[in-house]
Structure 1
Amino acid sequence: MSSIIRNALALSAVAAVAVAQGTTAPKLDAPCADAVIFMARGNDAPYQDSRTFPFVDATCGKLRAKGKTCDFIEVVFETMMNGDFCDQIAEGVRNGQSQITAFNQKCPCTHLILNGFSQGAWITGEITTGLDNTSAPGNAIAAALLWGDVMHEANQPYNVLDGAGLQKSGRSADSLARLNRYAPVLRSYCAKGDPICANGNDVNQHLNYFELHTEDASTWAVGKLNDAAPLCAAPTPTPSASSTVVASSRCCFLQCRRSSLLPYFSGSPCSLPCPPAIRA
């Protein structure tokens, strides 16, 4: 049995005990802000699902408490339990990269936080592997979080929880190398009993991440955003007319009295194919 079929069956089994997919429309845009979170949902979950959105509330709440602005956008992809899993992954990766690129072009100064759970974690990981972290929009990613990732790779420096040294499918060497470009801003949550990321046998350990770890994850994400370098240079203040006159008079006075003291005034003026790991 191929890995894609095994992964699809495992996610279907988990989805059977999770919240059923609803009809809530995805949130597709946000105003420019200090931070915007891109959310990728789990298998058979609705948009804005109650399982994962405590992370949005906690993260944006902490940023707003510091006087910063925060919003979210949802990555668009189908998650029906009996759908074509490979097509769903490819759709999410394609749309996610397109949505992130379009938003970054509109708001180049906004830092991005990527958050994906289960099937959405796979998509979020593939989104990052396809973006160069040294140029836009990849360099706008201040933090990326994967929860119960199908492609979880054991023993990576960004892994957390007791499943950090375990894996079920893992990544190809090339895919892992591209993902690891984001290692300083990446976290991958995997519990030992999780059947999706750690090949465990406790479905609840796949479903309760946000109940147990939202506080820790949101604090970490806010810290990463605070540490991130500005994406846009701060505007240079324009001197007022009165200050220009004073400076001009002062310069003229010094030039008349002692030319060697003349100060210097500077002017600043869906065609995406299934990723290799999916076809394995």
Structure 2
Amino acid sequence: MPSTTTMKQSLATAVLAALPLATFAQGTTPPKVAAACNDVAIFMARGNDAPYHDGRTSPFIDATCGKFQAQGNSCDYMDIVFDATLGVEFCPTIQEGAVNGIRQITEYNAQCPDTLIVINGYSQGAMVSGALLSGGGEDACNVDSQTLGLDPTSQAGQAVKAALLWGDVKHTANQPYNVLDGADKQAWPRTGANLERLNRYSAVLRSYCAAGDPVCANGDVIAQHLNYFELYTEEASSWVVSKLTPLLVKASSSAVPSSSVAPAPSSTAIPEDSTTVVTSTETSTMEVPVTVTKGAVKPSTMISSYVPVTIPHKHYNATAPYNNFTMTVSSTVMTADKPYETTYLPVEESHAPATTKAPEYSAVAAACPPATIYETVTDIVTKYV
């Protein structure tokens, strides 16, 4: 008999597969994995079979960044890299996304330590986002039990100032960060140390779950899993802005006046493959431009202890740096090198039995009735047997 965990994994996969398909196949849009050192960076984890920057979740980016930009703060987003193709084995994609997400956030934070980070995950992506914060173990799908999640005391962990989970496969009832009428419901909850590690982020976390959502609340209203961003984007983006704005104001008030910034000498040639950043010291108010070669900055917290993700798939390229050469990678990442799936939904089972031939009728009846009567009887038998 299959284990309870295996049955729940299968149920989660079946429920996600039954949801309406995204407008475009997920493999057709490359992930966005690089951004400048803005005031705010949003890391996005999409839902099952959705393309990167899909139409369902992107309104959250637009609303949130729009509000920050209206304040004069810069904002951008990046995609957490994982395979969300319909039909791919579900649990390995969660480990893939969790490990990649930890690495992406850590490497970005090493280059942009002053940027405030927001994590936003929907459906399958919500489980990925939760896993990158909580790690593995205790009924946590196939996420390696040795992966402990992003350490909240690390430099990268401290940069995470808001995290939102929508229709989370692993939504757990009665947590202090739960919102909506599914707050006391669950389908496949986190347990033990896995839940404890997620709750380290309680102060910056929100988990949205509607009572009818079949994915997070074991409900039976599919629409409630699909309409989160239509209904709650305005409220959620305002919550994020309210969390981060005081921190941005504080950082701005402590910054050195712009008049003290020394421009780079015009005679200094900056290599094309370089980025100019401004640094300051405690002994001087003068800020000096420093040229840093891309990729030279390494994460302050090494993640070599994380077990490399291995998901067998003939179309994966284990050496491709996110399909994007704008950010140097320091460990293995696997992402599809081209679209290779044709997505489909299973045909709904008919409520009437399939047409069958009546059993045990010989090819030639011993006493054959008139043809018209025989055809009528055969028609009835064929339809209803």
| TM-score bin (small chain) | 0.7 to 0.9
TM-score, normalised relative to structure 2: 0.61
Equivalence for 1:21: 25
Deviations along 1:164-188, one digit per CA (max 9) or x if unpaired, are 0000000021111111111110000
Give, in whole Å, the separation in 1 of the partners of 2:29 and 2:166: 22
Letter in 2 for 1:106: Q
CA contact (8 A) 1:30 1:71 kept: yes
Equivalence for 1:95: 100
Evaluate the alpha carbon distance shift between residue 208 and residue 238 of structure 1 in structure 2; reply closer, same or farther with a 3 A threshold.
closer
Question: Which has the higher mean CA deviation after the structures are superposed, 191-200 or 19-28?
Answer: 19-28
Q: Does 1:132 align with 2:151?
A: yes
CA contact (8 A) 2:21 2:49 kept: no
Give, in whole Å, the separation in 1 of the partners of 2:220 and 2:129: 24
CA contact (8 A) 2:22 2:51 kept: no
Q: How many residues align structurally?
A: 247
Q: Post-superposition shift, 1:268?
A: 3.9
Evaluate the alpha carbon distance shift between residue 42 and residue 232 of structure 1 in structure 2; reply closer, same or farther with a 3 A threshold.
same
Evaluate the alpha carbon distance shift between residue 70 and residue 237 of structure 1 in structure 2; reply closer, same or farther with a 3 A threshold.
closer
Query: Greater relative contact order (Cα 8 A, min sep 6): structure 1 or 2?
Result: 1
Equivalence for 1:216: 235
Give secondary structure in 2 for the equivalent of 1:116. strand
1:185 to 200, 204, 223: 204
Equivalence for 2:138: none
Letter in 2 for 1:208: N
Give secondary structure in 2 for the equivalent of 1:38. strand
Unaligned runs of 5+ in 2: 135-148, 261-281, 285-306, 312-385
RMSD after superposition: 2.3
Equivalence for 1:38: 43
Letter in 2 for 1:161: L
Q: Does 1:70 align with 2:107?
A: no
Q: Does 1:175 align with 2:198?
A: no
Letter in 2 for 1:203: I
Evaluate the alpha carbon distance shift between residue 176 and residue 133 of structure 1 in structure 2; reply closer, same or farther with a 3 A threshold.
same
Evaluate the alpha carbon distance shift between residue 157 and residue 268 of structure 1 in structure 2; reply closer, same or farther with a 3 A threshold.
same
Q: How is 1:228-243 mapped onto 2 (pairs within 5 angstroms)?
A: 228=247, 234=254
Q: Post-superposition shift, 1:236?
A: 5.6
Give, in whole Å, the separation in 1 of the partners of 2:104 and 2:232: 27
CA contact (8 A) 1:42 1:118 kept: yes
Structure richer in helix, relative to its length: 1
Report the structure number with the largest CA radius of gyration. 2
Report sequence identity in percent: 51
Letter in 2 for 1:88: T
Letter in 2 for 1:21: A
Evaluate the alpha carbon distance shift between residue 51 and residue 24 of structure 1 in structure 2; reply closer, same or farther with a 3 A threshold.
same
CA contact (8 A) 1:114 1:144 kept: yes
Letter in 1 for 2:25: Q
Give, in whole Å, the separation in 2 of the partners of 1:137 and 1:232: 20
Give, in whole Å, the separation in 1 of the partners of 2:16 and 2:126: 12
CA contact (8 A) 1:30 1:72 kept: yes
Give, in whole Å, the separation in 2 of the partners of 1:128 and 1:48: 22
TM-score, normalised relative to structure 1: 0.82
Q: Post-superposition shift, 1:102?
A: 0.8
Deviations along 1:91-128, one digit per CA (max 9) or x if unpaired, are 11111111111100110000000000000000001111
CA contact (8 A) 1:18 1:207 kept: no
Q: Post-superposition shift, 1:24?
A: 1.2
